[in-house]
Structure 1
């Protein structure tokens, strides 16, 4: 990852200046996460004294037991991401000089899965046929009908 240059100040008095935490790595405002995936959020902060990093859910809901904090809480890992894991997350970096917070949201995505499928049918030439298919997923799946690989012009009801 590339970032802007960080100035280096050489102090000759032997005193290290104290300053409030500055969070250097931000996660995006909205992060799409797939069902069952491993989601990793990182929050790295500079400060003197070294900031303590904590995580919290934006809605106050406690983290499930499966959530892991790694590298002195810099990394938050959510294994097997599910719909209930979606929502706002906050990283808080704090030392005696102050605090800094970044927020982001995880949105849940699930690939389409068939709820109802069609079955082979044998009809006489003058009979009508009604086939219905339903799928679940997030975002909501769209449907296309094909006959022998060619797109049919249909009206979705």
Structure 2
């Protein structure tokens, strides 16, 4: 009896247009070019007006901002997000959320921009005590996804070599080696380090930093 009444109530509300929105799935253009323009269009399949449409990029709300090359044009149940000048940082997950007084719905699509890596986290000089743990991050955005390579200066000729050749107390974390962990550090862990980041599109990224180990050495 209860389920029957609920069903009748739903039919009654629908008959009078009291419906929550339903976002029509949309997709991003294939291989948009850096410096070009692209757009995403979001609309509601149904839903009682008035409707509110909000765009997000990586869970951060977007606003109409020509200075940032982003324009949002909305009209009733339809909204267009326009990127006037594409950069590699335009890559990300774009979400359109439509809501009214009866509920809300959202849809997310990923926009991938092919371009060289851009710094997200760059290591600086580190000073650490003997026997402690060092955590270093070298990370960048870009598509294809960049990979980090860790190196250390070694020998009188000051050659840069892969860090994996030296230490048993180290490990790299992340699918693309973006974090380096040195555990129970000793004097031998000190020195000049570098990390390079590449995704096959030039230019690559490179930075150097110094690791100093303080404390009593046996």
TM-score by length of 1: 0.58
In 2: Cα distance, 1:80 partner to 1:91 partner = 21
Contact 1:68 1:77 in 2 (8 A): yes
Q: More helix by proportion, 1 or 2? A: 2
Which residue of 1 is the match for residue 102 of structure 2?
none
8 Å Cα contact 1:86-1:108 kept in structure 2? yes
Segments of structure 1 that go 5 or more residues without pairing to the other structure are: 1-6, 112-135, 138-157
CA contact (8 A) 1:23 1:93 kept: no
In the aligned structure 1, how far is the partner of 2:166 from the partner of 2:134?
14
- Give the aligned partner of residue 37 of structure 1: 132
Matched residues, number? 106
CA RMSD of aligned residues (A): 2.8
TM-score norm. by structure 2 comes to 0.43
User: After TM superposition, where is structure 1 displaced by more than 3 Å over at least 4 residues in a row?
Assistant: 7-12, 14-17
**Which structure is higher in RCO with an 8 Å CA cutoff and minimum separation 6?**
1
Aligned residue in 2 for 1:66: 169
Deviation at 1:11, TM superposition (A): 4.8
Structure 2: which 5+ runs fail to align?
1-67, 71-81, 85-109, 155-159
